[in-house]
Structure formats: structure tokens, C-alpha cells
Amino acid sequence: MKIIIAGAYAIGTYLAKLLSRNNNDIILMDDDAERLEQLGTDFDLMTLCASCTSIQALKDAGIEKADLFIAVTPNESRNMTSCTLAQALGAKKTVAKIDNYEYTQPELEQFFKKLGVTSLIYPEMLAATDINNGLKMSWVRQRWDVHGGALVMLGIKLRETCEILNEPLKNISGPNDPYHVVAIKRGDETIIPNGNDELKLYDLAYFMTTRQYIPYIRKIVGKEHYVDVKNVMVMGGGRTAVRAVKTMPEYMDVKIIEMDEKRCEQLNTLLDDDTMVIYGDGRDISLLVEEGVKNTQAFVALTGNTETNILACLTAKRLGVRKTVAMVENMDYVSMAESLDIGTIINKKAIAASHIYQMMLDANVQNVRFLMNANADVAEFIPSEGAKVTLKPVKDLGLPYGVTIGGLVRKGEGILVSGNTQIEAGDSVMVFCHNTNMKKIENLFN
């Protein structure tokens, strides 16, 4: 697949490195040679020092043969313009990173497609959704709803109170049980488990279940004592914070601590009167105590500095806050943040990459997510009529090593998959894989 990425910034370089590992033909464009040089020579991709809004530069990059053109420069207008040019010159699909929330309205989707922009990516909005999913369930590290909750994936850190430790999964998670364990992160190791694997203390386990059994999962993992989040303290008042606060449930009371006085004034204009904006440094322990951090159920650190966010969450935990969320934009720090038991980790690059990645797949794919902590992918595939995956029961499909099917949605109903399950055309099937190229999986669904 030929992919051209415009913008050697955070998202662009992360995507280029990620996609180059799957033997794609990648060209990374940027008009700053120094940014391109920082990539080094460890990745199988080409670079082009040129403007993404130059018609000649796009032709030089081979835009007429591009399967996907991705514009992720910091300039929204530039991204939109380059996508329009790219499609006019022959690119099959285009993606533009935007900063304007108004553009994400569903009624504008066809309008932008006519302009040549196949898909819009607003990383701050995507991150806000993940933040709020984490806050709604204080005992869960990560939550992902499929088809409005017909299926639910829960990432849970297992503690001493968990009832299902040290038992083979075949004994505790059989065909008649209301959940499957689809992935386990243990230290630096990721496990796509089979029936003989066991859950261990401090594992980060990913459960697939249906909405009505969430209370049951909460009980068996020993999280019933976790209080629900009502009071939230947010450190940093950037765009991600604004989008998160605007979309938080009404029952949550929010305070934002921002150390830029002018930004505080802007926040008071952007947000409802119910949201308290505090001018100060969120690292100041005396300020946190004064503002009631000890009566706060969740602390969310969203400054532009990864180290600051990690340290602030550690401080909040020490002060008694049970649920912490940190924006960790430096990928090198993700595993460290996990080892420090930070809580929910938000990385806009990985979130945006998940949404872009699904556009590369030829099968009917509704959703793709990277489970950063587990170094695994999860995708929602819809098999076509006569697809290989519909011809045999799951146990006879010969799924590649490191791949499991966690569940499916059929006619709006969530169904957990066992070895005897027969997948049908039109089902929405949740596939988990580790160290496996997703392109290999999609062949089963075409």
C-alpha cells in the first residue's frame, strides 16, 4: 500500500514509523529538512523535503498512485487544502487533522468528502472521549463500547481483592460464562490467552462482556469498594481539557487548574459557569489541598509536558485520589507510566493512529484501537458473504498465533464467542491480535 504522510510532527512521525513496519510504501513529506533528519535511518520509509500544498511536490511523491494521503501538519487549513489537491491528483483516500470542533458535525461529512477530504481527525475530541470513558468507571483503566454497549471491553488492573486469580481460564471463563479474557499485560509481556493461562496479581487484564454483566465483572475482580467519580480536578486547560470538560456527564463537578492567566480568562468564556477555573500551578501541593484534592475522586493531568503529568498524578495518588488520568505524549514514557501505576494513560498520537489505520484495511472495518499498554490491536470486522471466517466454526479457522476473537454483535445483540460459534456474514466481530499484521486477518473477512 502506498501512503503519503504530510507533516513530520508528533502524529506524522509516529504514524510513519508504525506503518513502515507493515511493509507499506511510506513517504513522509515536510518542508523542514531538520525535522525529517530526526527520524534517523531505522525505519523503512522515504522522506521528501517539500510543501504538501505544492502540486509539483505531490506529483513528485507519486500522489496519483497513493492509496492514502494523510495530512497532519499543525495547520488545519494546510491539511484541508493538501487533501483537496491530493484527491484531485489521484489519491484514493485522504485524511486531514483538524482543530475546529464544528467540522466534526455529522451533517458536514458529505460536504467535506465533496471537497476531497475523505475523513477528518480531531485528536483532542478522540482523547476527550477516552478520558470520559475512564472517568465514568473509576475501577477501569480502559473502556471501549461496541455498538452502543452491545459488547464492552474493559481493561482492569488486578489487585489482591480479585476473586479469579491463579485459576486456569478454562475453569473460570467457559462458554457459559458472561465474559472472556481476551488479552493480558504482565510486566513487559503481552499474552493472548488460551484456556490454560491464569490471571496473576497486578496483571492488566482485558475483559470482553456485555453491558448487563459489568456489575458482575466488577464483583469478581474485587472493585466494588471503588467509589464513583463525582468530583474531578483537571490540571491544564488546553483544547483536550476543554473538549473533555464539555462532554463530561452532568453529575460530575469539575475544577480546572491552569497556570496561564490569559488562558484562564479564555476558559471562563469557553466553559459553563458550573466549571470552576483556578489560576495556579497544579504541582503546588498546598494549592491542591486548599482546592479539596482529598475530596476528589479523579485527577486528570493534561498539560503539554509528559513528565509534569506523570509526577502530578503520582502526587494526587499520594494525597488519596484513587482515579488518575495522565496525558503521556512521549511514547518512551508509556511503559514507565504503566509501571508507576498511574492509571488511565492518554496518548493522542496512538488514538489518532487507530482511526487512520482502519482506512488502510480493505475489509469492512468499523473500528480499530491500539491497546498501548498491551501492545495489541483490536478491530471490529464485518465479514462479507462467503468470507472464509463464515465457513467453519471458530475452533476450526486456524487463527494465527497471537489472535483471538472476543465477541460479536448480531442484529444488535452482543454474543461472546466460543470455539463452536459459527460467524455469519454481517456480524460485527471483535478481533484481538498481538505481533500480527492486521492485513493477514482481514483476508479471513473478505
Spatial neighbors of 213 by CB under 8 A, at least 6 apart, are 178, 179
CA 116 to chain centre: 26
Q: How far is CA 319 from CA 20, 209, 293, 315, 324, in A?
A: 43, 33, 7, 6, 12
Say which residue, 51 or 35, is predicted with more confidence. Answer: 51
Indicate whether 362 pLDDT > 60: no
Domains delineated in the chain:
2-121 (3.40.50.720), 138-220 (3.30.70.1450), 231-321 (3.40.50.720)
User: Which single residue is written with the C-alpha cell 469498594?
Assistant: 225
Strand partners, 416: 407
pTM: 0.81
Strand order in the sheet with 25-30: 46-49, 25-30, 2-6, 68-71, 93-97, 119-121
Indicate whether 292 pLDDT > 90: yes
CB burial of 226-241 (b: ≥16 within 10 Å; e: otherwise) equals eeebebbbbbbbbbbb
Round to whole Å and give the CA distance between 236 and 422: 49
181-207 residue pLDDT tens: 988 989 888 888 888 999 999 999 999
Q: Which pairing describes strands 151-157 and 204-209: parallel, antiparallel, or unpaired?
A: antiparallel
Round to whole Å and give the CA distance between 236 and 281: 9
Indicate whether 94 pLDDT > 90: yes
Helix axes 123-136, 239-246, angle to 10 degrees: 50
User: Mean pLDDT across the stretch 210-229?
Assistant: 92
What percent of the chain shows pLDDT beyond 70? 93
Round to whole Å and give the CA distance between 129 and 370: 15
Residue 11 grid coordinates: 502524529
User: Mean pLDDT across the stretch 310-333?
Assistant: 91
173-185 residue pLDDT tens: 887 889 999 889 8
Indicate whether 327 pLDDT > 70: yes
User: Mean pLDDT across the stretch 234-254?
Assistant: 95
* Sign, Cα dihedral of 190, 121, 357, 363: positive
pLDDT number for residue 363? 41
pLDDT number for residue 244? 96
For 344, the 3-state DSSP assignment is: strand
Output the average pLDDT for the chain. Answer: 89
Spatial neighbors of 1 by CB under 8 A, at least 6 apart, are 24, 25, 67, 68, 360
334-361 residue pLDDT tens: 878 888 888 889 998 888 877 776 566 5
Residue 283 near residue 236, CB atoms below 8 Å:
no
